[in-house]
A and B are shown apart, each in its own frame.
Chain A
Amino acid sequence: MINELREFLAIYAENWADWGPQIYAAIWVTIKLTVVSFAIAIVLGLCLALGKLSPLKVVRAFCTGYIEVARGVPALAILFLLYFGLVPLGIVFDAFTAGAIGLGMSAAGYIAEVFRAGIEAIHKGQREAALSVGMTPAMTFRHIILPQAMRIILPPLLNMVIILLKDTSICSLISTEELMLRAKDLAMMSFLPMHLFLLAGVLYFALAWPLSIITRKVEKMMQRGRRQTFGIN
Protein backbone atom coordinates (compact mmCIF):
# COMPACT_ATOMS: atom_id res chain seq x y z
CA MET A 1 0.00 0.00 0.00
CA ILE A 2 2.72 2.42 0.99
CA ASN A 3 4.76 1.38 -1.99
CA GLU A 4 1.91 2.12 -4.37
CA LEU A 5 1.55 5.50 -2.77
CA ARG A 6 5.25 6.16 -3.13
CA GLU A 7 5.14 5.14 -6.80
CA PHE A 8 2.16 7.42 -7.27
CA LEU A 9 3.92 10.38 -5.75
CA ALA A 10 7.14 9.61 -7.59
CA ILE A 11 5.42 10.44 -10.85
CA TYR A 12 4.92 13.98 -9.66
CA ALA A 13 8.60 14.30 -8.88
CA GLU A 14 9.54 12.95 -12.29
CA ASN A 15 7.34 15.32 -14.20
CA TRP A 16 7.59 18.40 -12.08
CA ALA A 17 10.21 20.05 -14.25
CA ASP A 18 7.84 19.80 -17.17
CA TRP A 19 4.53 20.40 -15.41
CA GLY A 20 5.59 22.89 -12.79
CA PRO A 21 6.05 26.05 -14.84
CA GLN A 22 2.97 25.37 -16.94
CA ILE A 23 0.80 24.79 -13.91
CA TYR A 24 2.22 27.88 -12.27
CA ALA A 25 1.33 30.03 -15.27
CA ALA A 26 -2.13 28.50 -15.42
CA ILE A 27 -2.78 29.23 -11.75
CA TRP A 28 -2.05 32.89 -12.39
CA VAL A 29 -4.56 32.95 -15.18
CA THR A 30 -7.11 31.36 -12.87
CA ILE A 31 -6.50 34.00 -10.25
CA LYS A 32 -6.66 36.84 -12.77
CA LEU A 33 -9.83 35.42 -14.21
CA THR A 34 -11.39 35.28 -10.76
CA VAL A 35 -10.46 38.85 -9.93
CA VAL A 36 -11.57 40.36 -13.22
CA SER A 37 -14.87 38.51 -13.34
CA PHE A 38 -15.54 39.48 -9.73
CA ALA A 39 -14.88 43.11 -10.51
CA ILE A 40 -17.24 42.98 -13.47
CA ALA A 41 -19.86 41.22 -11.38
CA ILE A 42 -19.70 43.80 -8.59
CA VAL A 43 -19.96 46.80 -10.86
CA LEU A 44 -22.70 45.28 -12.97
CA GLY A 45 -24.47 43.89 -9.92
CA LEU A 46 -24.50 47.24 -8.18
CA CYS A 47 -25.92 48.91 -11.29
CA LEU A 48 -28.61 46.26 -11.52
CA ALA A 49 -29.51 46.59 -7.86
CA LEU A 50 -29.79 50.34 -8.12
CA GLY A 51 -31.61 49.95 -11.42
CA LYS A 52 -34.24 47.86 -9.72
CA LEU A 53 -34.93 50.82 -7.44
CA SER A 54 -35.24 53.21 -10.37
CA PRO A 55 -38.43 55.25 -10.75
CA LEU A 56 -38.44 54.36 -14.47
CA LYS A 57 -40.51 51.26 -15.12
CA VAL A 58 -38.46 50.29 -18.18
CA VAL A 59 -35.22 50.32 -16.21
CA ARG A 60 -36.75 48.30 -13.42
CA ALA A 61 -38.17 45.75 -15.84
CA PHE A 62 -34.87 45.39 -17.65
CA CYS A 63 -32.90 44.87 -14.48
CA THR A 64 -35.39 42.39 -13.08
CA GLY A 65 -35.39 40.52 -16.38
CA TYR A 66 -31.63 40.46 -16.57
CA ILE A 67 -31.31 39.11 -13.05
CA GLU A 68 -33.89 36.41 -13.73
CA VAL A 69 -32.08 35.26 -16.86
CA ALA A 70 -28.62 35.42 -15.30
CA ARG A 71 -29.79 33.26 -12.44
CA GLY A 72 -31.67 30.82 -14.66
CA VAL A 73 -29.09 30.10 -17.35
CA PRO A 74 -25.86 28.16 -16.79
CA ALA A 75 -22.61 30.10 -16.95
CA LEU A 76 -21.39 27.66 -19.58
CA ALA A 77 -24.24 28.56 -21.91
CA ILE A 78 -23.39 32.23 -21.54
CA LEU A 79 -19.70 31.51 -22.17
CA PHE A 80 -20.48 29.56 -25.33
CA LEU A 81 -22.70 32.36 -26.55
CA LEU A 82 -20.04 34.97 -25.95
CA TYR A 83 -17.11 33.00 -27.33
CA PHE A 84 -18.71 31.16 -30.26
CA GLY A 85 -22.20 32.56 -30.64
CA LEU A 86 -21.32 36.17 -31.36
CA VAL A 87 -18.71 35.42 -34.00
CA PRO A 88 -21.22 35.30 -36.90
CA LEU A 89 -22.34 38.73 -35.73
CA GLY A 90 -18.81 39.99 -36.01
CA ILE A 91 -18.05 40.12 -32.27
CA VAL A 92 -14.99 38.08 -31.41
CA PHE A 93 -13.65 37.78 -27.90
CA ASP A 94 -10.49 35.96 -26.93
CA ALA A 95 -10.95 33.11 -24.52
CA PHE A 96 -9.91 35.05 -21.41
CA THR A 97 -12.15 38.03 -22.14
CA ALA A 98 -15.10 35.84 -23.00
CA GLY A 99 -14.52 33.92 -19.80
CA ALA A 100 -14.26 36.98 -17.60
CA ILE A 101 -17.25 38.73 -19.12
CA GLY A 102 -19.35 35.57 -19.12
CA LEU A 103 -18.64 34.72 -15.49
CA GLY A 104 -19.05 38.35 -14.51
CA MET A 105 -22.38 38.72 -16.23
CA SER A 106 -23.63 35.50 -14.70
CA ALA A 107 -22.52 36.37 -11.18
CA ALA A 108 -23.89 39.90 -11.46
CA GLY A 109 -27.37 38.45 -11.17
CA TYR A 110 -26.65 37.01 -7.74
CA ILE A 111 -24.65 39.98 -6.56
CA ALA A 112 -27.46 42.33 -7.50
CA GLU A 113 -29.75 40.42 -5.17
CA VAL A 114 -27.15 40.50 -2.41
CA PHE A 115 -26.88 44.27 -2.69
CA ARG A 116 -30.62 44.63 -2.76
CA ALA A 117 -31.05 42.55 0.39
CA GLY A 118 -28.42 44.63 2.12
CA ILE A 119 -29.96 47.95 1.20
CA GLU A 120 -33.50 46.89 1.99
CA ALA A 121 -32.54 45.47 5.35
CA ILE A 122 -31.76 48.88 6.69
CA HIS A 123 -35.01 50.04 8.09
CA LYS A 124 -36.36 53.18 6.52
CA GLY A 125 -36.76 54.69 9.96
CA GLN A 126 -33.01 54.78 10.41
CA ARG A 127 -32.60 56.79 7.27
CA GLU A 128 -35.28 59.20 8.43
CA ALA A 129 -33.70 59.52 11.86
CA ALA A 130 -30.37 60.32 10.28
CA LEU A 131 -31.87 63.00 8.09
CA SER A 132 -33.74 64.48 11.02
CA VAL A 133 -30.55 64.94 13.05
CA GLY A 134 -29.25 66.93 10.15
CA MET A 135 -27.17 64.43 8.16
CA THR A 136 -27.08 64.82 4.42
CA PRO A 137 -28.13 61.81 2.33
CA ALA A 138 -24.46 61.23 1.57
CA MET A 139 -23.52 61.23 5.25
CA THR A 140 -26.49 58.99 5.98
CA PHE A 141 -25.26 56.54 3.42
CA ARG A 142 -21.72 56.63 4.68
CA HIS A 143 -22.27 56.46 8.43
CA ILE A 144 -25.58 54.70 8.85
CA ILE A 145 -26.52 52.63 5.84
CA LEU A 146 -23.20 51.41 4.53
CA PRO A 147 -21.74 50.03 7.79
CA GLN A 148 -24.87 48.05 8.50
CA ALA A 149 -25.32 46.94 4.91
CA MET A 150 -21.72 45.72 4.92
CA ARG A 151 -22.62 43.24 7.64
CA ILE A 152 -25.23 41.72 5.43
CA ILE A 153 -23.39 42.04 2.13
CA LEU A 154 -19.85 41.03 2.98
CA PRO A 155 -20.23 37.30 3.68
CA PRO A 156 -22.25 36.51 0.52
CA LEU A 157 -19.81 38.60 -1.53
CA LEU A 158 -16.88 36.63 -0.18
CA ASN A 159 -18.79 33.48 -0.96
CA MET A 160 -19.18 34.69 -4.52
CA VAL A 161 -15.41 35.00 -4.87
CA ILE A 162 -15.04 31.36 -3.95
CA ILE A 163 -17.78 30.37 -6.38
CA LEU A 164 -16.16 32.38 -9.16
CA LEU A 165 -12.81 30.79 -8.41
CA LYS A 166 -14.36 27.38 -8.85
CA ASP A 167 -16.30 28.43 -11.93
CA THR A 168 -13.15 29.55 -13.73
CA SER A 169 -12.69 25.86 -14.38
CA ILE A 170 -15.68 26.01 -16.72
CA CYS A 171 -13.75 28.45 -18.89
CA SER A 172 -11.53 25.53 -19.83
CA LEU A 173 -14.38 24.41 -22.04
CA ILE A 174 -13.96 27.52 -24.17
CA SER A 175 -10.22 26.96 -24.17
CA THR A 176 -9.24 29.64 -21.69
CA GLU A 177 -5.68 28.85 -20.61
CA GLU A 178 -6.45 28.37 -16.96
CA LEU A 179 -5.69 25.58 -14.52
CA MET A 180 -8.34 23.07 -15.58
CA LEU A 181 -7.42 23.28 -19.25
CA ARG A 182 -3.74 22.94 -18.47
CA ALA A 183 -4.46 19.89 -16.32
CA LYS A 184 -6.60 18.30 -19.01
CA ASP A 185 -4.04 18.93 -21.74
CA LEU A 186 -1.19 17.55 -19.67
CA ALA A 187 -3.38 14.60 -18.70
CA MET A 188 -4.12 13.83 -22.32
CA MET A 189 -0.50 14.14 -23.34
CA SER A 190 0.96 12.09 -20.54
CA PHE A 191 -1.87 9.57 -20.14
CA LEU A 192 -1.88 10.35 -16.45
CA PRO A 193 -5.39 11.76 -15.84
CA MET A 194 -5.52 10.64 -12.24
CA HIS A 195 -2.38 12.48 -11.29
CA LEU A 196 -3.20 15.68 -13.06
CA PHE A 197 -6.82 16.00 -12.10
CA LEU A 198 -5.97 15.22 -8.50
CA LEU A 199 -3.26 17.85 -8.66
CA ALA A 200 -5.73 20.34 -10.10
CA GLY A 201 -8.21 19.46 -7.36
CA VAL A 202 -5.61 19.96 -4.67
CA LEU A 203 -4.55 23.30 -6.12
CA TYR A 204 -8.11 24.59 -6.35
CA PHE A 205 -8.61 23.48 -2.78
CA ALA A 206 -5.46 25.28 -1.71
CA LEU A 207 -6.84 28.46 -3.23
CA ALA A 208 -10.45 28.14 -2.15
CA TRP A 209 -10.18 26.71 1.34
CA PRO A 210 -8.38 29.66 2.95
CA LEU A 211 -11.02 31.91 1.42
CA SER A 212 -13.71 29.70 2.94
CA ILE A 213 -12.14 29.98 6.36
CA ILE A 214 -11.89 33.74 6.06
CA THR A 215 -15.50 33.94 4.92
CA ARG A 216 -16.66 31.98 7.95
CA LYS A 217 -14.64 34.20 10.28
CA VAL A 218 -16.15 37.28 8.68
CA GLU A 219 -19.63 35.78 9.00
CA LYS A 220 -19.09 35.25 12.71
CA MET A 221 -17.70 38.72 13.19
CA MET A 222 -20.61 40.27 11.41
CA GLN A 223 -23.06 38.52 13.69
CA ARG A 224 -21.58 40.01 16.81
CA GLY A 225 -23.37 43.30 16.46
CA ARG A 226 -26.81 41.81 16.22
CA ARG A 227 -29.02 41.17 19.18
CA GLN A 228 -29.80 37.52 19.66
CA THR A 229 -33.52 37.09 19.97
CA PHE A 230 -34.34 34.25 22.29
CA GLY A 231 -36.45 31.79 20.40
CA ILE A 232 -39.33 31.15 22.73
CA ASN A 233 -41.80 28.81 21.04
Chain B
Amino acid sequence: MEDFFQKLMELGGPLLLGAGTTVAITIASLLVAIVLGLSLALIRLLGILPVNWLISTYVEIFRNTPVLAQIFIIYFSLPYLGINIGPFPAAVIGLGLNGGAVLCEVFRAGLNAIHHGQREAALAVGMTPWMSLRYIMLPQTWRITLPPLGNYAIALLKDTAVVSAIAAPEIMFWARNLVTSTFQTTFVYILAALIYFCLSFPLARLVEQFERRQRAWQ
Protein backbone atom coordinates (compact mmCIF):
# COMPACT_ATOMS: atom_id res chain seq x y z
CA MET B 1 0.00 0.00 0.00
CA GLU B 2 2.70 2.44 1.02
CA ASP B 3 4.55 1.47 -2.09
CA PHE B 4 1.50 2.38 -4.12
CA PHE B 5 1.18 5.80 -2.59
CA GLN B 6 4.86 6.46 -3.02
CA LYS B 7 4.56 5.61 -6.69
CA LEU B 8 1.57 7.87 -6.92
CA MET B 9 3.52 10.77 -5.46
CA GLU B 10 6.51 10.28 -7.74
CA LEU B 11 4.49 10.05 -10.87
CA GLY B 12 1.65 12.35 -9.91
CA GLY B 13 3.89 15.37 -9.52
CA PRO B 14 5.11 15.76 -13.09
CA LEU B 15 1.75 14.73 -14.46
CA LEU B 16 0.02 17.40 -12.45
CA LEU B 17 2.53 19.89 -13.78
CA GLY B 18 1.52 18.76 -17.20
CA ALA B 19 -2.10 19.17 -16.20
CA GLY B 20 -1.41 22.80 -15.45
CA THR B 21 -0.08 23.30 -18.96
CA THR B 22 -3.00 21.38 -20.39
CA VAL B 23 -5.46 23.66 -18.65
CA ALA B 24 -3.52 26.76 -19.68
CA ILE B 25 -3.48 25.71 -23.32
CA THR B 26 -7.17 24.85 -23.19
CA ILE B 27 -8.20 28.19 -21.73
CA ALA B 28 -5.98 30.22 -24.03
CA SER B 29 -7.13 28.37 -27.15
CA LEU B 30 -10.74 28.56 -26.04
CA LEU B 31 -10.55 32.33 -25.74
CA VAL B 32 -8.95 32.63 -29.17
CA ALA B 33 -11.56 30.32 -30.64
CA ILE B 34 -14.50 32.18 -29.10
CA VAL B 35 -13.28 35.60 -30.17
CA LEU B 36 -12.47 34.37 -33.65
CA GLY B 37 -15.63 32.30 -34.07
CA LEU B 38 -17.98 35.00 -32.80
CA SER B 39 -16.34 37.71 -34.87
CA LEU B 40 -16.57 35.63 -38.02
CA ALA B 41 -20.19 34.71 -37.35
CA LEU B 42 -21.07 38.38 -36.90
CA ILE B 43 -19.11 39.44 -39.98
CA ARG B 44 -21.05 36.86 -41.94
CA LEU B 45 -24.25 38.65 -40.99
CA LEU B 46 -23.12 41.68 -42.97
CA GLY B 47 -23.70 39.62 -46.07
CA ILE B 48 -20.66 40.75 -48.06
CA LEU B 49 -20.33 37.88 -50.51
CA PRO B 50 -16.57 37.72 -51.14
CA VAL B 51 -15.89 38.00 -47.42
CA ASN B 52 -18.41 35.28 -46.65
CA TRP B 53 -16.82 33.09 -49.27
CA LEU B 54 -13.44 33.54 -47.60
CA ILE B 55 -14.89 32.69 -44.22
CA SER B 56 -16.56 29.58 -45.62
CA THR B 57 -13.29 28.48 -47.18
CA TYR B 58 -11.45 28.94 -43.91
CA VAL B 59 -14.12 26.97 -42.04
CA GLU B 60 -14.14 24.13 -44.55
CA ILE B 61 -10.36 23.83 -44.56
CA PHE B 62 -10.02 23.74 -40.80
CA ARG B 63 -12.92 21.39 -40.28
CA ASN B 64 -11.83 18.88 -42.87
CA THR B 65 -8.19 18.52 -41.89
CA PRO B 66 -6.78 16.94 -38.72
CA VAL B 67 -5.74 19.20 -35.85
CA LEU B 68 -2.40 17.46 -35.79
CA ALA B 69 -1.71 18.42 -39.39
CA GLN B 70 -2.66 22.01 -38.66
CA ILE B 71 -0.36 22.15 -35.66
CA PHE B 72 2.52 20.55 -37.54
CA ILE B 73 2.14 23.00 -40.38
CA ILE B 74 2.17 25.94 -38.01
CA TYR B 75 5.01 24.68 -35.87
CA PHE B 76 7.37 23.20 -38.45
CA SER B 77 6.67 25.33 -41.45
CA LEU B 78 6.63 28.81 -40.02
CA PRO B 79 10.37 28.86 -39.25
CA TYR B 80 10.93 28.58 -42.99
CA LEU B 81 9.04 31.80 -43.41
CA GLY B 82 11.26 33.35 -40.79
CA ILE B 83 8.81 33.11 -37.92
CA ASN B 84 10.01 31.17 -34.89
CA ILE B 85 7.56 30.28 -32.21
CA GLY B 86 7.66 27.90 -29.28
CA PRO B 87 5.38 24.91 -28.76
CA PHE B 88 2.94 26.69 -26.45
CA PRO B 89 2.14 29.57 -28.84
CA ALA B 90 2.04 27.19 -31.78
CA ALA B 91 -0.41 25.00 -29.90
CA VAL B 92 -2.64 27.91 -28.95
CA ILE B 93 -2.62 29.31 -32.48
CA GLY B 94 -3.30 25.94 -34.06
CA LEU B 95 -6.04 24.94 -31.64
CA GLY B 96 -7.43 28.46 -31.68
CA LEU B 97 -7.69 28.59 -35.45
CA ASN B 98 -9.25 25.15 -35.50
CA GLY B 99 -11.70 26.16 -32.79
CA GLY B 100 -12.54 29.39 -34.56
CA ALA B 101 -13.81 27.37 -37.49
CA VAL B 102 -15.90 25.11 -35.28
CA LEU B 103 -17.32 27.92 -33.18
CA CYS B 104 -18.07 30.09 -36.20
CA GLU B 105 -20.60 27.46 -37.19
CA VAL B 106 -21.88 27.12 -33.62
CA PHE B 107 -22.51 30.85 -33.32
CA ARG B 108 -24.01 30.93 -36.79
CA ALA B 109 -26.49 28.24 -35.82
CA GLY B 110 -27.19 30.06 -32.57
CA LEU B 111 -28.00 33.31 -34.32
CA ASN B 112 -30.11 31.54 -36.91
CA ALA B 113 -32.08 29.75 -34.22
CA ILE B 114 -33.59 33.01 -33.16
CA HIS B 115 -36.77 33.59 -35.04
CA HIS B 116 -36.46 36.31 -37.66
CA GLY B 117 -39.62 37.93 -36.33
CA GLN B 118 -37.77 39.08 -33.24
CA ARG B 119 -35.33 40.99 -35.38
CA GLU B 120 -38.23 42.51 -37.29
CA ALA B 121 -39.91 43.58 -34.09
CA ALA B 122 -36.64 45.20 -33.02
CA LEU B 123 -36.41 47.16 -36.26
CA ALA B 124 -40.08 48.09 -35.95
CA VAL B 125 -39.58 49.82 -32.59
CA GLY B 126 -36.83 51.86 -34.19
CA MET B 127 -33.71 49.93 -33.23
CA THR B 128 -30.86 49.94 -35.73
CA PRO B 129 -29.55 46.56 -36.88
CA TRP B 130 -26.62 46.98 -34.49
CA MET B 131 -28.98 47.63 -31.58
CA SER B 132 -31.10 44.62 -32.45
CA LEU B 133 -27.94 42.53 -32.45
CA ARG B 134 -26.76 43.88 -29.14
CA TYR B 135 -29.99 43.85 -27.14
CA ILE B 136 -32.05 41.13 -28.77
CA MET B 137 -29.95 38.63 -30.72
CA LEU B 138 -26.69 38.26 -28.80
CA PRO B 139 -28.20 37.94 -25.30
CA GLN B 140 -30.23 35.03 -26.56
CA THR B 141 -27.40 33.52 -28.57
CA TRP B 142 -25.36 32.92 -25.42
CA ARG B 143 -28.09 30.81 -23.92
CA ILE B 144 -28.46 28.75 -27.04
CA THR B 145 -24.76 28.24 -27.67
CA LEU B 146 -23.70 27.44 -24.13
CA PRO B 147 -24.17 23.64 -24.46
CA PRO B 148 -22.30 23.28 -27.78
CA LEU B 149 -19.66 25.68 -26.44
CA GLY B 150 -19.28 23.51 -23.39
CA ASN B 151 -18.99 20.39 -25.51
CA TYR B 152 -16.39 22.09 -27.62
CA ALA B 153 -14.41 23.01 -24.50
CA ILE B 154 -14.34 19.35 -23.52
CA ALA B 155 -13.21 18.32 -27.01
CA LEU B 156 -10.55 21.00 -26.87
CA LEU B 157 -9.28 19.71 -23.56
CA LYS B 158 -8.85 16.30 -25.14
CA ASP B 159 -7.27 17.71 -28.29
CA THR B 160 -4.49 19.30 -26.25
CA ALA B 161 -3.08 15.80 -25.91
CA VAL B 162 -1.82 15.89 -29.48
CA VAL B 163 0.34 18.93 -28.89
CA SER B 164 2.65 16.60 -27.01
CA ALA B 165 3.85 15.84 -30.52
CA ILE B 166 5.49 19.24 -30.70
CA ALA B 167 6.87 18.87 -27.19
CA ALA B 168 4.50 21.16 -25.41
CA PRO B 169 4.91 20.19 -21.75
CA GLU B 170 1.38 19.00 -21.14
CA ILE B 171 0.14 15.76 -19.65
CA MET B 172 1.00 13.29 -22.42
CA PHE B 173 4.42 14.81 -22.86
CA TRP B 174 5.19 14.33 -19.17
CA ALA B 175 3.67 10.88 -19.29
CA ARG B 176 6.04 9.82 -22.02
CA ASN B 177 9.00 11.26 -20.17
CA LEU B 178 8.01 9.45 -17.00
CA VAL B 179 7.70 6.16 -18.83
CA THR B 180 11.13 6.59 -20.31
CA SER B 181 12.64 7.29 -16.91
CA THR B 182 10.64 5.01 -14.64
CA PHE B 183 9.36 2.25 -16.91
CA GLN B 184 6.08 2.30 -15.01
CA THR B 185 4.30 2.21 -18.35
CA THR B 186 0.90 0.89 -17.34
CA PHE B 187 0.60 2.93 -14.20
CA VAL B 188 1.65 6.19 -15.80
CA TYR B 189 -0.70 5.95 -18.74
CA ILE B 190 -3.62 4.97 -16.56
CA LEU B 191 -2.85 7.86 -14.26
CA ALA B 192 -2.66 10.23 -17.23
CA ALA B 193 -6.04 9.06 -18.46
CA LEU B 194 -7.43 9.49 -14.97
CA ILE B 195 -6.20 13.07 -14.76
CA TYR B 196 -7.85 13.93 -18.06
CA PHE B 197 -11.03 12.37 -16.81
CA CYS B 198 -10.92 14.41 -13.62
CA LEU B 199 -10.52 17.57 -15.68
CA SER B 200 -13.28 16.81 -18.14
CA PHE B 201 -15.81 15.28 -15.77
CA PRO B 202 -16.88 18.53 -14.05
CA LEU B 203 -17.15 20.22 -17.45
CA ALA B 204 -19.34 17.42 -18.73
CA ARG B 205 -21.63 17.72 -15.72
CA LEU B 206 -21.82 21.47 -16.21
CA VAL B 207 -22.82 21.04 -19.84
CA GLU B 208 -25.45 18.52 -18.80
CA GLN B 209 -26.91 21.06 -16.40
CA PHE B 210 -27.01 23.71 -19.12
CA GLU B 211 -28.73 21.31 -21.47
CA ARG B 212 -31.30 20.46 -18.84
CA ARG B 213 -32.00 24.12 -18.17
CA GLN B 214 -32.24 24.72 -21.90
CA ARG B 215 -34.85 22.06 -22.32
CA ALA B 216 -36.88 23.50 -19.46
CA TRP B 217 -36.56 26.94 -20.96
CA GLN B 218 -37.78 25.75 -24.36
Direct contact of A and B (CB under 8 A): yes
20 CB < 8 A contacts A-B: A68-B204, A73-B158, A73-B193, A74-B172, A76-B164, A81-B193, A166-B66, A166-B67, A180-B68, A183-B69, A184-B72, A193-B76, A197-B69, A201-B70, A204-B65, A204-B69, A205-B65, A209-B64, A231-B117, A232-B117
Given A71-B204, A231-B115, the answer on whether A76 and B162 have CB atoms closer than 8 Å is: yes
Q: How far is the CA of A166 from the CA of B65 in the complex (A)?
A: 6
Tell me if B204 and A73 are in contact (CB < 8 A).
no
Q: How far is the CA of A41 from the CA of B86 in the complex (A)?
A: 36
Judge if B24 is at the interface, Cβ distance under 8 Å: no
B64 surroundings in chain A (CB, below 8 A):
162, 166, 204-205, 208-209, 212
Judge if B58 is at the interface, Cβ distance under 8 Å: no
Q: How far is the CA of A168 from the CA of B159 in the complex (A)?
A: 13
Tell me if B73 and A197 are in contact (CB < 8 A).
yes
Judge if B77 is at the interface, Cβ distance under 8 Å: yes
Tell me if B80 and A194 are in contact (CB < 8 A).
yes
| Interchain nearest-CB distance for A92 vs B (Å) | 12
Tell me if B68 and A169 are in contact (CB < 8 A).
yes
B157 surroundings in chain A (CB, below 8 A):
74
Number of A-B contacts (CB under 8 A): 129
Residues of B within 8 A of A (CB): 60-61, 63-70, 72-73, 76-77, 80, 115, 117, 154, 157-162, 164-165, 171-172, 175-176, 179, 185-186, 188-190, 192-193, 196-197, 200-201, 204
Q: How far is the CA of A73 from the CA of B193 in the complex (A)?
A: 6
B69 surroundings in chain A (CB, below 8 A):
169, 180, 183, 197, 200-201, 204
Q: How far is the CA of A151 from the CA of B107 in the complex (A)?
A: 24
Which of B63, B154, B160, B193 is within 8 Å of A212, CB to CB?
A: B63
Q: How far is the CA of A162 from the CA of B200 in the complex (A)?
A: 23
Interface of A is mostly: helix
A232 surroundings in chain B (CB, below 8 A):
115, 117
Tell me if A77 and B161 are in contact (CB < 8 A).
yes
- Given A68-B201, A80-B176, 18 more A-B residue pairs with CB atoms under 8 Å apart are A72-B197, A73-B193, A74-B159, A75-B158, A80-B189, A81-B189, A85-B189, A162-B64, A166-B67, A167-B66, A169-B66, A172-B68, A173-B164, A180-B69, A194-B80, A197-B69, A201-B70, A201-B73
